[in-house]
Structure 1
């Protein structure tokens, strides 16, 4: 394999290097749904699949608008919950919006999600994907989609009203000055809960198809080799802008402990001026039971998720607990994760009680 195929030149003077042959071999053995070569972006360390090369310019140069709300987080930090809360605060505080039952992935697109689909989009007619219940909303928004630009990205661009967008990429994967263009909400959660929830996610979602042991998954996590790379680095980049008026950090544990207070903070940050009845409506619409009913993968269990995993360990919206890691790690696994947290999170300006 040539050096050219092992290096991707990216916008903004960045580049990405393929994982080593040994790492890649191990990766596809453990993540059986992985068909693309995996790359690490430098200098941020984010892990992406090869399909990212087709969309990275559009992602980097994505045109944000002043009224946009971008939910930025590592995976499994309460991102879906936060998206649903914000979308309901903006669009359905009176419980009357017609799109409430539409999949969240179309109401609140993930900007870079197409990287996992691009190879397939180049081989399979786009209509094949648009038959999917997940994209039932798509044709009305994008009547003439360009398969070379992905589905999620074009959907995000199609919205003329206020957008609630999502990304698992750090600030450096976008043009400088992002916070001068829109509001960003960064989700934070205990790393041990993140790891366990991400492991379930990778077992459940077929495009990951993780078949390894918990020890193996922890090794990927602490070596920052999972898709999207380093949790700590995403937070480190975000914390560089902690004093900017357009950034807001929200902790999963705070949301579970006192959602009323967190909704009030979001209400002020977003400039929405919702009254107590409307905030109560949002709380009801986004409680755990409601979130399970709105599970973004509920319409396509056989297509995207592993039915056996879902029946044994739970669906995408699974527990909704803080501290769920307790009792699910061996002493050795806890030691490995504690060491990782100490080395990577201890110096971050975060609430120490969560670490």
Structure 2
């Protein structure tokens, strides 16, 4: 007898067009295939299909805390902030237990090589002087395993990270669990995403930033279209279980952002505790904190040697990458996509 609580998966997967596939293949050597999903055409890897329904039907707890973003929008920064507030400022654990272990990354499995495992292992071995096949395979298998298989055994409160849009998450999530969603100016997202793509050796990105920006605007990168992602969360911003933040506000006034998150989680901090937390989260200290920089993946040879996970943490840095033509194109692209909504990104000079 079927479980009445299990919802049928409402979305269909479909292939990219030949033209879209060709554009991506010219610039990437992905160890996986891309597909589109649902009426908005979100880009996912085909591996996502194996756990999409389980994610959609994920059993939730009232103590669950989600940190959700379009990638490169301040996710790691916010994860650390949320975890420390919810864990009564346990800095000792925060500095010794990697963030990748403190949070379950809901769709991590889809970013790992599927059919291209052999070529992935070859790339990693060439990038790691101390390559150990057995150790690397253990880590890869752990990363490839959908976390829905072990979330039930995780103690409360469970901390869950996701870059999925609201429509691909459990439909009644905000009826039960809390979510902190962070949005960021798409121009800064694109710059950070470009470096992030170059960071992971197995993505094999070989294009310029201008080419990357084109893929981003044309919704040909993972989990684009960007604006649909942000607008889905923006529509839920008044829900009592949703805290919608802008990266620019965190960057401009971190103590005020800390207070907003603390209030949302029902936590009280005095001035000294707030100052200490802001110091821990300062970009200078954050860049040196191995627990949040995914150093375990660098140790396996998955990272390019000239790129880092935590970069500049700067708002408005896109101006260093955009020429006049791109700047005008970006302004029109943003304006066109925001004309049907009151969503506006904070202005950073």
Instruction: Tell me if both proteins adopt one fold, taking TM over 0.5 as the criterion.
Output: yes
Q: Which runs of 5 or more residues in structure 2 are unaligned?
A: 1-6, 122-132
For residues 285-315 of structure 1, give each alpha carbon's deviation from its aligned partner in whole angstroms, at most 9, with x where no partner exists: 22212221234332332521111x32xxxx1
Partner of 1:6: none
Q: Deviations over 1:66-91 (max 9, x none)?
A: 11111111011111100011111122
> Deviation of residue 256 (structure 1)?
1.1
Q: What is the aligned length? A: 326
2:315 to 299, 303, 322: 322
Alpha-carbon distance between aligned partners in 2 of 1:306 and 1:328, rounded to the nearest angstrom: 20
In 2, the alpha carbon distance for the partners of 1:154 and 1:264 equals 35
Mapped contact 1:55–1:115 kept (Cα < 8 A): no
The answer to whether residue 197 in structure 2 is matched with residue 202 in structure 1 is: yes
Answer whether contact 1:256 1:321 (CA < 8 A) is retained: yes
What stretches of structure 1 of length at least 5 have no aligned partner? 1-9, 139-146
Q: CA deviation at 1:181?
A: 1.3
1:229-264, CA deviations, whole angstroms, 9 ceiling, x for partnerless residues? 112101111122222111111111111111111111
Q: Provide closer, same or farther for how the CA distance between residues 352 and 13 of structure 1 changes in structure 2, counting only shifts above 3 A.
A: closer
Contact 1:55 1:150 (C-alpha < 8 Å) held by counterparts:
no
Match of 1:50 among 26, 31, 46: 46
Quote the Cα distance in structure 1 between the aligned partners of 2:137 and 2:152. 17
**C-alpha deviation, 1:153, in angstroms:** 3.8
CA RMSD in angstroms, aligned pairs only: 2.7
Contact 1:74-1:234 within 8 A present in 2 as well? yes
In the alignment, is the contact (CA less than 8 A) between 2:105 and 2:160 conserved in 1?
yes
For residues 76-115 of structure 1, what are the structure 2 equivalents within 5 Å?
Answer: 76-91=72-87, 93-97=89-93, 100-115=95-110
Supply the distance in 2 between the matched residues of 1:81 and 1:213 (Cα, whole angstroms).
27
CA deviation string 1:252-289 (max 9, x = no partner):
11111111111111111011223333333322222212
C-alpha distance after superposition, 1:142-183 (max 9, x if no partner): xxxxx9x81544454432121221111111112321100111
Tell me which moved more, 272-281 or 83-92: 272-281
SS class of match (1:72): strand
Matches within 5 A, 1:1-355: 11-32=8-29, 34-91=30-87, 93-97=89-93, 100-117=95-112, 119=114, 128-129=135-136, 131-132=138-139, 150-154=145-149, 156-294=151-289, 295-301=292-298, 303-307=301-305, 309-310=306-307, 315-354=308-347
1:335 is paired with a residue whose SS is helix
